């Protein structure tokens, strides 16, 4: 089950220029966004641990996003 709500994702698709958005399209984008976010988070955690920290910082997220 998705962690992120579908409605904001549908709004994002519409803001990108879509007139109408199918439920399947929104759900698929939610799943893809969650997969990407999970990969970034895992990489950020690894970076924080490598630096000897338990706290994930903004810099960890930014660096992880470049690597994923």
What confidence category does residue 48 fall into, taking pLDDT thresholds of 50, 70 and 90?
very high
Closest CA to 54 of 68, 44, 39, 67: 44
Is the pLDDT at 2 greater than 90? The verdict is no
Closest CA to 15 of 7, 23, 4: 7
Q: Domains of the chain by range and CATH?
A: 22-67 (1.10.20.10)
pLDDT tens column, 11-29:
999 999 999 999 999 999 9
């Amino acid at each position: 089950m998705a962690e992120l709500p579908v409605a904001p994702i549908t709004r994002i698709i519409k803001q990108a220029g879509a007139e109408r958005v199918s439920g399947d399209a929104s759900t698929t984008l939610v799943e893809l966004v969650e997969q990407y976010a999970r990969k970034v988070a895992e990489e950020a955690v690894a970076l924080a641990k490598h630096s000897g920290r338990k706290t994930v910082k903004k810099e960890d997220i930014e660096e992880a996003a470049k690597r994923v």
